[in-house]
């Protein structure tokens, strides 16, 4: 199953990483991407407890593989204010990768790697943080995910 759903949201009002992850789970539910936002939030929090998903460039890549997720998707949230993440790092943008529990394990890791590679280039990360056009952000993520 390919990952073709990318949804972008600006000016999210979260003040902590737990609140940000709850907001992402609620958005996934509103978009019919999951059955239970509480269960998805718990899966995202469990993953964060294993080690922070925040990168030093002001971006976090929270991700979860859960039975509540209906289809692979990416949610991109730009926060109205810097959010203190679990490692006390400031995060301006969260790129959240969601995968159904039964999805092939390698697909999850490949997509996570593709997003991380996109962000590893300092210019790309800076451009993503400052981009005002939601469609441009969506296309950048889709482009990174479609690379071989």
pLDDT tens by residue, 50-87? 988 888 778 899 999 999 999 889 999 999 999 988 76
Q: Which fold has domain 6-146?
A: Mannitol-specific EII; Chain A (3.40.930)
7 annotated active-site: no
Does residue 90 register a pLDDT over 90?
A: no
Taking residues 105-120, report their average pLDDT: 81
Mean pLDDT for the chain overall: 87
Q: Are 90 and 22 in contact (CB under 8 A)?
A: no
What are 96's strand-pairing partners?
75
What's the pTM value of the predicted model, to 2 decimals?
0.89
Q: Are 86 and 19 in contact (CB under 8 A)?
A: no
Report the distance separating Cα 121 and Cα 80, nearest Å.
24
Does residue 1 register a pLDDT over 50?
A: no
Q: Which of 7, 41, 63, 108 is catalytic?
A: 63
For the chain, the domains span: 6-146
Per-residue pLDDT band for 49 (boundaries 50, 70, 90) equals: very high
Percent of the chain at pLDDT > 70 equals: 94
Report the distance separating Cα 147 and Cα 111, nearest Å.
10
Would you state the structure tokens that stand for residue 53, as one six-digit string? 């998903």
**Which pLDDT value is given to residue 22?**
97
């Amino acid at each position: 199953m390919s990952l073709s759903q990318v949804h972008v949201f600006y000016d999210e009002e979260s003040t902590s990483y737990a609140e940000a992850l709850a907001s992402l789970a609620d958005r996934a539910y509103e978009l019919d991407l999951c059955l239970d936002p509480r269960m998805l939030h718990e899966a995202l929090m469990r993953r964060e407890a294993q080690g922070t998903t925040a990168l030093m460039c002001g971006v976090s890549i929270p991700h979860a593989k859960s039975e509540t997720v209906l289809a692979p998707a990416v949610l991109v949230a730009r926060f109205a204010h810097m959010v203190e993440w679990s490692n006390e790092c400031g995060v301006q943008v969260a790129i959240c990768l969601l995968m159904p529990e039964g999805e092939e394990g390698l697909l999850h890791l490949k997509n996570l790697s593709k997003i991380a590679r996109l962000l590893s280039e300092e210019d790309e990360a800076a451009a993503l943080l400052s981009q005002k056009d939601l469609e441009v952000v969506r296309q950048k993520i889709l482009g990174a995910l479609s690379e071989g």
